[in-house]
Each structure stands twice: as C-alpha cells, then as structure tokens.
A and B are shown apart, each in its own frame.
Chain A
Amino acid sequence: MARKDPAELVNGSAEQSGTRGAPSAFLEVRDLKIHFPTDDGLVKSVDGLSFQLERGRTLGIVGESGSGKSVTSLGILGLHNKRNANVSGEIWLDGTELVGASQNDVRRLRGRKMAMIFQDPLSSMHPFYTVGHQIVEAYRVHNDVSKSVARKHAVDMLGRVGIPRPDRRVDDYPHQFSGGMRQRAMIAMALSCDPELLIADEPTTALDVTVQAQILDLIRDLQEEFNSAIIMITHDLGVVAELSDDILVMYAGRCAEYASVDDAFHRPLHPYTWGLLGSMPRLDRERSERLMPIKGTPPSLINVPQGCAFNPRCAYRDLNGDKSTTERPELVEAEPGHQVACHLPLEKKREIWESEIRPKL
C-alpha cells in the first residue's frame, strides 16, 4: 500500500475548502452539519466537519460516545431520515455529491460503491434469514445475476473472510455463528460488491481481544486486496494506531484535531487528545501509578459550552484569559498537515506536550 504524505492531503483540504465543484480526492466531506430538531432543542450532532480520504488509505475517527462519529458515518451513507435530520454541507464521493442527491441515486451507490460494517452484528443482521440469503440479497440488488451465481459468490465471500466450510455455513442463521464469525459474515456482506469506500463503525468493540486481532488483520488484508478507502470509527486509540493513516479526533460534533497518525500520537496539539492519551492504561509502557483522566463528562449536544466546547474540562483554559469561554476556536493548520482547533499558542502547546504530558504517558 503506497503511503502518501498526509501533509499533502490535509493541505489540499485547507486550500479547497473555500472552492466549489468536484474535488480531486476520492472522498471529500466539506463542512458537514447534521442537526436533529427535538422538543428539548436542536441537537447539533455534527457541526461543521471536513475531511478527505483517498483510495487505499484509512482514516480513523476517534471520540467518546455522543461526539458525533456514528452520525457522521450514517450521514455519508445517506441513512438519515430527511424528515427528522437537517443535513447540510457537501459529501463528494468519487466526483458525485451525495447530500443533494436523490434517495434513489444514493441507494444505488450504497452497498456497491460504499458499504458499512456495523458494531453489533447480531442486531444488524436479520435473525429470520440465513446468512447466505442476506448476502445474496445484497449482491443481487446491484448485480443482475441468477440466484445460483449469487449464492456461489456468497460462499466465495464467506471463505474469503475466513469462515471455515463456507459452503455449509452459508445456510446457517446468524445466531448459529459466534460473535467473531458473525462479524466476519457482516464484513463478507459489506464487501460482496467490492465497495470502494468501507465505513467500519466500532467493528471490534463487541469482540474479545484475540478475535479483534483477527478481524483487524482481515480488514487490513482486504484493504490491500481491494484498495478500498476505509473510515474506521472507534473509541479505542489502540485500534486506530494499528490501522489508520490519518486521525480525526472529534469532540462535541466538531473536529478537535486532524493529523497523520504519527503526529497525533507523537506530537498531539489538542488538550483533549492529551487527555485521551493520558486516560488509557498502556501495556507498552511502565505501569504508571495513576491515570490522568479528563475531569468532568462529555457535554450535552443541546447545550454545547460557549466558546471552546472543551473548555469546562480543559486544564489549560486559563492560559487564554477568557478567550476559551467566549470564542470558538477555528480548525487551523498549526503545522503542515496537522490541523487543530485550540486557542493555545502553538509554542505553548508544544512546550506543554513535551514537558508536562509526554513524560507522564
């Protein structure tokens, strides 16, 4: 897999964000907003998100529950009901704009050009139909083939994702599969039409660590084979570090930091990213006496704090005077290929990371 310089990609996005028209990137999301009007107020689940992704590369979207990562992925697939969600912005997939496209056009792309692996395969597969039936159905929607050809394809796919004796397991029901096998079947279904964009929403969260390792390997192998673009949505920084090329850290519906995987782990610039890294007990380090949690809890998306959404939990907000509570920091390119939304001056951030955060990790 050819690794492009992430700096180049992110640079591109900064330059293009003002322009209109089809972008050169395979997937480009520009200023995506997904708001849900509710009785209690407007829930701004995603509030101005931009990123881009090339074929063969993986973007990791990290954040806590309620940060808007899953809503983003459903938005890309066009799975939000227009009646209860306000979607705005632009999503360009291989030259086609999806936000303004008709339901039918998006449906034609969904499953063939882009597909999704859901977190919980037991609730996302139909319990009443055999696994094979469900893969055959997905395949025949997009391909004009006979049932027997589609079934042969389903068996092929199941074999490809490492299910033993696929010719027999194809007639099993989802409940007859173990958790890891079900996730493999789910991946087989998602890949049945060779999608160019694969969105994996917490694909391994429900799985045991040994099975997780198998699934991550599988996703990596399949990416090399199909050269798909992958969006990996997870809260597990370990999974992101293993698979991703770029990382987008989300907080309260917005991007806090967007960088190459190397920058995000070795030179992170946002206090929230520091907090996430400090919260995790790590097997690859000496055991620290104490973890460094982020104080407080993620905010409600109806009442996002004024100014920087992270300010009530940020240990460094006082360094900015009252800027943090009054002015929302824009996502700016702090270093080549490294975007961050934080009021702290860059030098100060580098200093804090080197002197205060890094030694304690």
Chain B
Amino acid sequence: MTGNETVSTDKTTAEGTTVPAADSAGDARPIADGEPLLEVDGLGKHFPVTAGLLRRQVAAVKAVDGVSFSVRKGETLGLVGESGCGKSTTGRMIMRLLDPSFGKITFEGEDITTMSQGRLRPLRRDLQMIFQDPYSSLNPRKTVGAIVGAPFRLQNIKTENGVKRAVQDILELVGLNPEHYNRYPHEFSGGQRQRIGIARTLALKPKLIVADEPVSALDVSVQAQVVNLLEDLQDELDLTYVVIAHDLSVVRHISDRVAVMYLGKIVEIADRNDLYERPMHPYTNALLSAVPIPDPAERGERKRIRLQGDVPSPLDPPPACRFHTRCWKAQDICKQVEPPLVELSPGHEAACHFPENTTVSATDEVAKAAVAPAPGTTAADDPAPEA
C-alpha cells in the first residue's frame, strides 16, 4: 500500500521538489522548545482478521482507533495503559514501522503518514526507537562497534575522526567503556545491553525518540540507572521522548505529560502532576489505585478501586464509552453516546461523561462549546476521592 511505493517513484517525487526534502525540513523551519514537534491526529490501526481460502476479511482488531495528541519539542510524553490497549502499536505507527489505517502523523510540520520508505530514510536520522527487550533487539553475531556504527553506514554519514571514534564517543556518553567496541552483546548484562541499544538510537543525534518499555525488562536497581541516563541525555542532547510503559510510577517519574490509553483510545491526557494528583477519568483512577505502594503503613489505608474482569477484546470493543463495561459510574448514556476527549481544565483532557475531580463533564463541555469557547475549570478545590 502507501508505504510500499517503488524506489523509482520516490525519487521522482523527491526530485520534483513539490514537497521539501525530508532532511532539509528541519533546517528550513527550526522548531523552538515547546512547539509541537510531532502531531498525531485521529490515528488508527485496524489489523484485518481473515478467514477462508480467499483470505476474506471477516473482522478487524481495532488496535488503535483514533488517537490524537501532540508532542512538544523538549518534552517527554508518557503513554500508559494495560497490555493490548494499543500503546505499542501507536509507537510503531509514529515510527512508520506499521502503516496507519487512517489518521495523520505530522513530524516537524511535514505529513509523514503515507511517505514512502525511500523518502522516510533521511528522516530516520531524526526519528529513532528504543526497544523493550535488550536481548532480542541486538544482533548476537555483530560486535558492539558494528551495531552502534550501523546507523552511520546506513545513512552514509562521514564523521570527522572516523566512525570508530564516533561510536566510542557515544559508548562513553551512555556510560559504557569505549573499549567495549569489539565485544559481542552476549558479554553484557541486561542493563548494559539496553545502554548499547540506547547508544545505537543516539548515534545520529535524533530529535525524537520513541522508547517502547525501555526499562521493563531490567532489574530494579538497573532500571533506575537507565531512567537517570535517559533523563541526562535529554538535557544534554535536547531530545524529545515518547515513552511507552505500563509502569505508572516510572511514567510519572520520567514524563512531563501523560496520556492514558484504553482499548485503542486515549481516555485522558494531562500534565504529569495534574494527572497523578487529580485524575479525572475513572479508568485512570482505577489504574492509580491498583499500583501497590511500597509502604506497609499504607496497607489497608488506601481506598481501592477494584476493576472487575478483563479488558474486553479489541475485536469487538464495547460501543460508546469503551470503559462502560468495567466502570462503576456507568449510566445509560455511557452505553449510547461516546464521550469525546475534551479539555475539562487547562491542559487536562478527559473522555468521560462523569469525570472525577471536576465539576464539568465531557458532555457539558461539548454543549458549552457549541455556545461559547470552553472556559477553564479549576478542579483544585475538589476533594480527591482517594489518597
């Protein structure tokens, strides 16, 4: 489909210069800190389920079903949710490792949704990914030097003192010994392997890094090292991150803004402190209350919200509000009308008919928006239902 155009067609498009070449786009219009670097609009991915001899499509797994958000330059956006909520699929679509079924991805002001692989290639310098599993994401037959140096070769980049020197500098940057250049991945521990993966990601000084569960495969003590490393690198190299994780405490630590996903949709997106201190969506509340707190004194003190059952299948998600089957606040309207994701207080969007920690709901907000621009509501004085 769109991503599979032949190389010859790309070249003509690129040479036709109707669209600015990808690698020059950044230079043409530099993006200042705080401006959106990446914008995602109504993005979705439906995986077809086929059956029979003719591979007829009988259903679709609605892995991601219309998500919209933007990532500002220099910030970290956390994407959280339970397994199967579509957070990894979203990350892979941003990277164009998966072709979106619908929606639009804009990177540095340029629409990359249907850009061909050939034209994407120069863009890959700016858009990189850190993978979850440091064991399967490194080729066991290649040395660290070859792995971290691969981006230079693939992008045909000449470095001042040779690739080896550049690779060793990066190894040092991520806290590895430059003498590790000729070693193989199996000689390293999990945490060190993840550093090698990060070194490879950083080789070409990307602008945006999508990190898919960057620390979940690591031990606690090592996890903290990698989290600190990611933060240091962000300051040093002016990076923008999209961090995909299921661990709510790690996400809180690392993110500036957080988006919560449920069954292929974003249900809430807000600044970190806002989201963790005044969660509006019942699902966010439930997630936060389910995190075990490492303090025995808290045992029995916290009010828990126990969700019943499992996440419904994305093959056949519940109609209207997708959370209504597990929501304790659900009413008839939740089964009939899908709540839109709207700003309920400044910078705090939620998709719920009966949100917590606020006096307005998504439905009111839409009704009001029809009359006047949505006023900001303060939720600060609302008492939180649980500590």
Contact = CB atoms under 8 A, between A and B. Distances in A.
A214 B249 contact: no
A325 B187 CA distance: 25
Given A178-B310, A217-B306, A241-B296, A212 B221 contact: no
A145 interface: no
B164 interface: no
Interface stretch (A223-231, A258-266, A333-341): A258-266
Contact of B228 (A178, A242, A290, A297): A290
Interface-centre pick from B189, B228, B294, B298 (highest chain A CB count, 10 A): B294
Interface stretch (B92-100, B178-186, B282-290): B282-290
A280 interface: yes
B154 interface: no
Given A278-B224, A281-B227, A283-B293, A208 B83 contact: yes
Contacts of B30: none
Nearest to B250: A281
Contact of A297 (B192, B276, B294, B306): B192
Contacts of A236: 292
A291 interface: yes
B307 A293 contact: no
A287 B250 CA distance: 10
A266 B249 CA distance: 20
Interface string B152-196: 000000000000000000000000000000000000011110000
A219 interface: no
B252 interface: yes
B249 A282 contact: yes
B294 A280 contact: yes
10 interchain residue pairs of minimum CB distance: A238-B292, A293-B224, A281-B253, A279-B224, A294-B221, A213-B290, A291-B224, A208-B82, A64-B219, A237-B294
Given A210-B307, A284-B298, 10 more contacts: A179-B83, A209-B82, A212-B290, A214-B307, A238-B294, A240-B294, A241-B292, A276-B221, A281-B224, A281-B227
Interface of A: 64-65, 164, 178-181, 208-214, 216-217, 235-242, 261-262, 265-266, 275-284, 287-288, 290-295, 297-298
Interface of B: 82-83, 189-192, 219-225, 227-228, 231, 246, 248-250, 252-254, 272-273, 276, 286-299, 304, 306-307, 309-311
